[in-house]
């Protein structure tokens, strides 16, 4: 199998996200909550596969770094069943929050009489590259 360079892989992901972002920006609260529920359930349903993939990630950490750097990197990316349960709960907590899209937070009148409102609107899809670890990324 041919391995795709990281830059090309990320560019392809971003192009796909841009296409997917347009319709997802218009999803109803109900559909967004269904997606969050499915994501939460998927974490639980695939716990074993996640833990196995994480074991491979941990094994791939360079042993050539000093012991403290190796330990810190391992601690940052290590996932346990408790970590997965915490991510699951975080998604369900997010699902329980009111959908902010469409909420007007400020309104004012300009000196020339124009009414201005700030209304929360969706960004679409946001890409995050983080070395903070899986739990922080999920949050």
pLDDT digits (tens, 9 = 90+) for 87-110: 999 999 999 999 998 888 889 999
pLDDT digits (tens, 9 = 90+) for 12-36: 988 888 888 778 778 899 999 999 9
Query: Domain segments of the chain: what residues?
Result: 6-129+134-138
State pTM to two decimals.
Answer: 0.72
Q: How many CB atoms lie within 10 A of CB 85?
A: 13
| Long-range pairs for 30-35: beta carbons < 8 A, 24 or more residues apart | 32/99, 33/95
- CA dihedral for 112, 118, 124, 128, sign (positive or negative): positive
With 0-12 / 13-18 / 19 or more C-beta atoms within 10 angstroms meaning exposed / middle / buried, residue 39 is middle
Query: Can you identify the CATH homologous superfamily of domain 6-129+134-138?
Result: Aldehyde Dehydrogenase; Chain A, domain 1 (3.40.605.10)
């Amino acid at each position: 199998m041919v391995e795709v360079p990281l830059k090309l892989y990320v560019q392809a992901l971003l192009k796909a996200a841009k296409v997917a972002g347009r319709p997802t920006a218009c999803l109803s609260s109900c559909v967004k909550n269904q997606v969050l529920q499915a994501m939460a359930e998927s974490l639980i349903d695939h716990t074993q596969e996640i833990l196995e993939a994480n074991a491979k990630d941990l094994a791939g950490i360079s042993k050539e770094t000093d012991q403290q750097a190796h330990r810190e990197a391992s601690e940052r990316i290590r996932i346990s069943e408790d970590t997965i349960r915490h991510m699951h709960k975080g998604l369900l907590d997010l699902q329980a929050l009111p959908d902010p899209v469409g909420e007007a937070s400020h309104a004012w009148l300009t000196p020339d009489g124009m009414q201005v409102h700030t209304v929360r609107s969706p960004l679409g899809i946001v890409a995050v590259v983080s070395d903070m670890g899986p739990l922080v990324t999920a949050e």
